[in-house]
Structure 1
Amino acid sequence: MPTECIPYKETNYFTKLITDYLEEKEELKDFYNRFPKLENFKEQLVEKSSFPKENRKVLVKALKQQYAGLETSKATLQHIESLEEEASFTVVTGHQLNLFTGPLYFLYKIVSTINLTRKLKEAYPDYNFVPVYWMATEDHDFEEINFFNLNGKKFQWANAPKNAGEDAVGNLTTEGLEDVFKLFSAEIGGGKNADFLRELFEKAYLQHDNLAEATLYLANQLFKEEGLVIIDAQQKELKELFIPYAENELLAQDSYKTTTKTAEKLNELGYNVQVNPREINLFYLNQGLRERIIARDDAYFVHGTEIQWTKTEILEELKNFPERFSPNVMLRPLYQEVILPNLCYIGGGGELAYWLELKEYFKSEKVVFPVLLLRNSALIQSGKLDEKRRKLNVSSKELFLKQHELINRKVRQISNIEIDFSPQKEHLVAQFQEMYDLAEKTDKSFLGAVKAQEVKQLKGLDNLEKRLLKAQKRKLKDEVSRIAELQNELFPNKSLQERQTNFSEIYAAYGPDLISVLLKELDPLQAEFKILTFENK
């Protein structure tokens, strides 16, 4: 399998916060405990060994209930059983319940998680490491999850349930997905791989009642042989473990106080803050409703409704119905670490950005802060496309340039005319420096006129250079077109492939080899972007 690696910083698709984190910049070290290196997990294991035995029992019981009736692998069942043991720990990734997994990086997240558990087992053989996929069943942003892209076409869940966008997405019924299935079936084509994908979609979405069950089935089918454990944390027994922290959120609002200060520090360092906390970071989830809780004048309200409580009443509601209290994006990480014996969270750049806001909040709640690891990123291409790239004399690194930059660079390279006026511009600047010196010695009032003339002539050279480039592009129209076509195929919508393309597009071509190659080639501790080239089929 031919592979190439590119530093994340050189792809120009990752924020300064993330590239600085990967470089372990000194100014960011206050925002996390340990950097993701194998040797650093030794201390993490010691610190997380304080995880309560009772929480383990509740967790295993809840997982067994969720897996009841689901056909899965021996490896997954053993992993679930092992979580009751004090020497067992998890590595977690989380993802929304995107239709048919959504973008390709869903696979990369889970593969990164599985591969890290394997590396940890090699380094620390006396412990067990369980890969966990946390289903974001309590999200309610339906517009983010109701589609996937295949062969440049958008397949959207148009006939959605009436409460879509209001209720937690995990609760949504799968009604209306028959139409998507018909369109998908027609698009995916024929052959063994296409038949597998059709059956996978049909069994997941047309034979399960809600989106949580459908996603559990789908992820289990793809990764059960690797021992992946999938969790839906909406269960009452799990929420009961979170009651003390939810109560503190309602009464003290420590998450708001601590993360606001952290966000200010990140801003001062020049980093964009990913998420701004609310005073109360809990939603009320009940009977098709998921709305935020607001505190005002010693009372509590559910936004947009007439539901309200006194302080005593809301604490009683929390005690009796903890499953009705749903953490938002700022509180979900704490909930995760309360119910799982977790060592590491694996996520994308945006996720790590908001996790970096939370260290002080975890400290105030006396919960161990996990190691934060950026998931693997990759570009998958066929041997045919790689051959086309070589013939066009485009390097893999150049593919990551903005298209106009790439085309301008290649036009200059393949043109028999030198279209780079940098030497002329430098010569012009030097000439004008002499005029500045002359004006300075004679009449300083002429400095402005000299400057205006310099700007005018430099601008003229810029315009002439652009016109010549444009003319040369017309002359080299075929080469320009083929370069643009290549880049558009590898970067759909001028974005990273992994953020646009659904896995089914690649699975249809390569079948199970897709996942086996990812498991072999993606090293979660190698902080570089990978280009994977599949042989032509």
Structure 2
Amino acid sequence: MMKSTSLHVPYGSTGYFSRTVSDYLHREPALSPFYRHQPDLEGIKAAIAARKNFATPRTLLKEVLLSQYEGLPVSGELAKNIGLLENENTFTITTAHQPNIFTGPLYFIYKILHAVKLAAELNEQISDARFVPVYYMGSEDADLEELGYINVGGQKLVWETKQTGAVGRMKVDKALIKILNAIHGQVGVLPHGEELISLLQQCYTEGKTIQQATLELVNALFGSYGLVVLIPDHARLKTAFHDVVKKELEEGFSHRLVADTIDRLKSNYKVQAGGRDINLFYLLDDKRERIEKEAQGDKYDVKALDLSFSKEEILQELQQHPERFSANVILRGAFQETVLPDVAFIGGGGELAYWLELKDVFDAVNVPYPVLVLRNSFLLLSEEQLHKTESLGFTPDELFQSEHELMNRLVGRHSDHQLQLTDEISEAENYYHKLAGLAGKIDATLVPHVKALQEKAISRLQELEKKMLRAEKTKFDTQQRQLQTLRAQVFPGNNLQERVENMALWYAKYGRSWLNLILDQSEGLRQEFTILTVAGNGK
């Protein structure tokens, strides 16, 4: 039997999110010029109105999806949602992510279930429209170093393959099967371990592309919720983006717009990378390489492939082979929003920071800009970890504080000695204030000297306070080791759990009921961090 308790805390109180994210959630005026709609129900309605003025290629989208799902099991809810996409009153709630092997970090699961939950909530709240959750697969990403590993039970498992290019086009090989066997060794004895391994083995068969394996796995996990998976690495889909790619090749328009936005943003916020003069890659078989335009003239080079095109030749190449042109992060969002009838995009803090740089790019090509929604975040605790937290005298939300801060509080609560010199420091300040008055009456030039003596004395007292606390901490060695172990489990590498751990152990213990629990605890437009304690034996 699976049971749970939850606690919601503001994102800002965790210490793991940027000022950009915090200000966006608090709707600070300084950020308002960089997005179109507020992340609330009224913002969704405004996005719907804007989307209705855009000619989404709905029939093309449906046909591509039907061909993509051919031969795969399709749930009734999924089949209904694919059919609904042709309807002008149907809109998508989209999240995007690269095809990390075996789903990668936990937040891959969280953002997909967030899309499912938000679509369901909007279907209840807006009666004259329908909403479909979509996972848009960034399969053309070539960063294998980021996508080719997972962490299971504290062990990092790395895919050692010699393949190159778009990760989605890579194929399952013996090296990847070796990782699958390692996962089996970690989870096989758990109640749903064999179920998980069987599923992974069914999806990741040797010779299958990573994007196909990811499609099958995500469909098996979430298809029953009606989630639609879209692989955009498709020639027919890219024909719908032809005019934007042509504009980028001819004008390099996106870089100038993003550079201007960054200039306006960076006075208050840390900005993301600004892209390149041409924000397109050339995608050919197992290669994905930069397209560069000479500063003078109309020559385009793909230097890594030793290819060169005149303007006429590269536009002809675009016409004949649209699948060979791949948008980088600056143009990917515009492609996504061109082929999907999207009204909300769910992304992490880094993704939202990128999107805040892109509104002018969308405006330049007349593509509707969606509502930006920060994805849900969870911290998962076992019942044992909760009990350990409480035995140390803390609540789960206090675990976000550093080990140093927590130990200071623990020692302060349980020590029999005075460890703070607040009153003594205050008395010293009063003493030197009085002394400065006396000296000043004799000679005003003596006051700075007294002030210097005061600063030195206060500094010595503060250092003494630290030494007293440090000495007292040695009496709480057992509690400190317990706290260190607990925080290392909950915040692996001092990072958020969701950014490090894979779903394998949680699914292997609780099965599909764990997915249902995360879905149930997910929030649509309410933006808070959830601490979730999971208890039970998983059976």
Q: What TM-score, normalized by structure 1, do the two folds share?
A: 0.95
| Conservation of the 8 A alpha-carbon contact between 1:132 and 1:228 | yes
Give the 3-state SS of the residue equivalent to 1:454 in structure 2.
Answer: helix
1:290 maps to a residue whose letter is: R
> 2:158 & 2:300 partners in 1: Cα distance?
37
Pairwise CA distance, 1:7:
0.6
Alpha-carbon displacement from aligned partner over 1:19-46 (angstroms, at most 9, x marks no partner):
1110111121111111121233222212
Alpha-carbon displacement from aligned partner over 1:250-281 (angstroms, at most 9, x marks no partner):
1122211211111111112x100022121111
Q: Which residue of 1 aligns with 2:31?
A: 28
1:250 maps to a residue whose letter is: L
Give the count of matched residue pairs. 531
Pairwise CA distance, 1:438:
4.4
Pairwise CA distance, 1:446:
4.4
Alpha-carbon displacement from aligned partner over 1:121-142 (angstroms, at most 9, x marks no partner):
1112332211100111010011
1:392 maps to a residue whose letter is: L
1:246 and 2:248 are equivalent in the alignment: no
> 1:25 & 1:45 partners in 2: Cα distance?
24
| Conservation of the 8 A alpha-carbon contact between 1:220 and 1:230 | yes
> 2:246 & 2:177 partners in 1: Cα distance?
42
> 2:351 & 2:440 partners in 1: Cα distance?
56
Pairwise CA distance, 1:487:
2.0
Q: Which residue of 2 aligns with 1:15?
A: 18
Alpha-carbon displacement from aligned partner over 1:152-207 (angstroms, at most 9, x marks no partner):
1111112x1x233xx01111111121211221111113144100111122122225
Pairwise CA distance, 1:501:
1.1
> 1:333 & 1:359 partners in 2: Cα distance?
10
Q: Which residue of 2 aligns with 1:156?
A: 158
The alignment yields a C-alpha RMSD, in angstroms, of: 1.6
Q: Which residue of 2 aligns with 1:289?
A: 287
Pairwise CA distance, 1:58:
1.0
Pairwise CA distance, 1:439:
4.8
Pairwise CA distance, 1:227:
0.7
| Conservation of the 8 A alpha-carbon contact between 1:411 and 1:480 | no
Pairwise CA distance, 1:382:
1.8
> 1:237 & 1:407 partners in 2: Cα distance?
59
1:128 maps to a residue whose letter is: R
Runs of 4+ in 1 over 6 A off after TM superposition: none
1:316 and 2:316 are equivalent in the alignment: yes
Give the 3-state SS of the residue equivalent to 1:233 in structure 2.
Answer: coil
1:18 maps to a residue whose letter is: V
1:507 and 2:507 are equivalent in the alignment: yes
> 2:505 & 2:111 partners in 1: Cα distance?
18
Q: Which residue of 2 aligns with 1:116?
A: 118
Q: Which residue of 2 aligns with 1:491?
A: 491
Alpha-carbon displacement from aligned partner over 1:71-103 (angstroms, at most 9, x marks no partner):
221211221121111111111001111111111
> 2:499 & 2:418 partners in 1: Cα distance?
38
Q: Which residue of 1 aligns with 2:221?
A: 222
| Conservation of the 8 A alpha-carbon contact between 1:89 and 1:343 | yes
Q: Which residue of 2 aligns with 1:203?
A: 202
| Conservation of the 8 A alpha-carbon contact between 2:191 and 2:510 | no
| Conservation of the 8 A alpha-carbon contact between 1:382 and 1:536 | no
Alignment of 1:23-62 (within 5 A): 23-52=26-55, 55-62=57-64
Question: Aligned in 2, Cα 1:444/1:189: closer, same or farther, shift over 3 Å?
Answer: farther
| Conservation of the 8 A alpha-carbon contact between 2:397 and 2:531 | no
Of 40-49 and 278-287, the range deviating more from structure 2: 40-49
Aligned match of 1:170 in 159, 163, 168? 168
| Conservation of the 8 A alpha-carbon contact between 1:103 and 1:502 | yes
| Conservation of the 8 A alpha-carbon contact between 2:190 and 2:509 | no
Pairwise CA distance, 1:443:
4.3
| Conservation of the 8 A alpha-carbon contact between 2:99 and 2:139 | yes
Give the 3-state SS of the residue equivalent to 1:372 in structure 2.
Answer: strand
2:39 maps to a residue whose letter is: P
Question: Aligned in 2, Cα 1:515/1:446: closer, same or farther, shift over 3 Å?
Answer: same
> 2:454 & 2:203 partners in 1: Cα distance?
67
| Conservation of the 8 A alpha-carbon contact between 1:17 and 1:353 | yes
Q: Which residue of 2 aligns with 1:4?
A: 7
> 2:468 & 2:489 partners in 1: Cα distance?
28
Q: Which residue of 1 aligns with 2:270?
A: 272
Q: Which residue of 1 aligns with 2:462?
A: 462
Task: Show structure 1 runs of 5+ residues with no match.
Answer: none
Q: Which residue of 1 aligns with 2:83?
A: 81
Give the 3-state SS of the residue equivalent to 1:330 in structure 2.
Answer: helix
1:153 maps to a residue whose letter is: Q
> 2:36 & 2:500 partners in 1: Cα distance?
33
Give the 3-state SS of the residue equivalent to 2:381 in structure 1.
Answer: strand
1:34 maps to a residue whose letter is: H
Alpha-carbon displacement from aligned partner over 1:382-432 (angstroms, at most 9, x marks no partner):
222212222221022211001111111221122121211233223223333
> 1:282 & 1:432 partners in 2: Cα distance?
67
| Conservation of the 8 A alpha-carbon contact between 1:177 and 1:206 | no
State the percentage of identical aligned residues.
37
> 1:348 & 1:224 partners in 2: Cα distance?
23
| Conservation of the 8 A alpha-carbon contact between 2:435 and 2:450 | yes
Question: Aligned in 2, Cα 1:440/1:490: closer, same or farther, shift over 3 Å?
Answer: same
> 1:447 & 1:255 partners in 2: Cα distance?
60
Alignment of 1:409-448 (within 5 A): 409-443=409-443, 446-447=446-447
Alpha-carbon displacement from aligned partner over 1:284-303 (angstroms, at most 9, x marks no partner):
11132111111112211114
Q: Which residue of 1 aligns with 2:188?
A: 189
Give the 3-state SS of the residue equivalent to 1:129 in structure 2.
Answer: strand
| Conservation of the 8 A alpha-carbon contact between 1:375 and 1:524 | no
> 1:232 & 1:437 partners in 2: Cα distance?
76
Q: Which residue of 2 aligns with 1:380?
A: 380
> 1:440 & 1:263 partners in 2: Cα distance?
53
> 1:32 & 1:487 partners in 2: Cα distance?
37
Pairwise CA distance, 1:340:
0.7
> 2:312 & 2:442 partners in 1: Cα distance?
84
Of 1-10 and 483-492, the range deviating more from structure 2: 483-492
Give the 3-state SS of the residue equivalent to 1:206 in structure 2.
Answer: coil
Alpha-carbon displacement from aligned partner over 1:417-459 (angstroms, at most 9, x marks no partner):
1211233223223333334444544445545543443333233
Give the 3-state SS of the residue equivalent to 2:105 in structure 1.
Answer: coil
> 1:192 & 1:481 partners in 2: Cα distance?
31
Q: Which residue of 2 aligns with 1:231?
A: 230
Q: What TM-score, normalized by structure 2, do the two folds share?
A: 0.95
2:290 maps to a residue whose letter is: R
2:87 maps to a residue whose letter is: E
Give the 3-state SS of the residue equivalent to 2:223 in structure 1.
Answer: helix
Alignment of 1:382-397 (within 5 A): 382-397=382-397
Q: Which residue of 1 aligns with 2:94?
A: 92
1:140 and 2:127 are equivalent in the alignment: no
Q: Which residue of 2 aligns with 1:399?
A: 399
1:201 maps to a residue whose letter is: L
2:284 maps to a residue whose letter is: N
